[in-house]
Amino acid sequence: MRGDRVTKKIAFKVNDGFLVIKIDGDLDNLATFQYKTKLTEIIKINQFKQVVIDLSNVTFIDSSGIGLVLGRYNQVTNYGGHLILCGINKQIKKTIQISGIASIIDVYEDSFEQLKNSEVLL
């Protein structure tokens, strides 16, 4: 039952060759602790060349959430893949900016759906 509750806040979808990871709610230490193993395993097993982390439904992020993203970025780039971070809404924008993560990872304010429609990801 606990596993069911956790998986409701994180969704994985393969869309046009992209693995899209969509996270809902607060991305704090507790959530990061709960999501990390599953995220790591899915990426490790499938080795997707294109990975998207969409935070448009995230309501809160702290340095642990930034660490989760950076960890997956390192994991994906280590096997030659590409990871982008998108859906930077106003509730998480300031922390994302302070973290300096945009100097390492491609970061977009738009959600994956918006990026796909605007053909940015083609």
The site for other proteins, by CB under 8 A, has a size of: 22
For other proteins, the closer of residues 71 and 81 by Cβ is 71
- Judged by CB under 8 A, which of 10, 42, 70, 120 binds other proteins? 70
Give one DSSP letter per residue of 44-103, joined into a string.
HHH--SEEEEEEEEEEEE-HHHHHHHHHHHHHHHHTT-EEEEE---TTTHHHHHHHTGGG
Q: Which two three-digit tokens encode residue 3?
A: 């596993």
Kindly indicate which of the ranges 47-55, 63-71, 76-84, 111-119 contains the residues binding other proteins, using the contact rule CB under 8 A.
63-71
Site for other proteins in 38-57 (CB under 8 A): none
Nearer of residues 36 and 120 to other proteins, judged by Cβ:
36
What is the rounded distance in angstroms from the CA atom of residue 68 to the CA atom of residue 75? 11
Q: Which of 51, 121, 42, 35 is nearest to 84 (CA)?
A: 51
Per CB under 8 A, residues contacting other proteins are 26, 28-30, 33, 36, 60, 62-64, 66-68, 70-71, 90-91, 94-95, 98-100
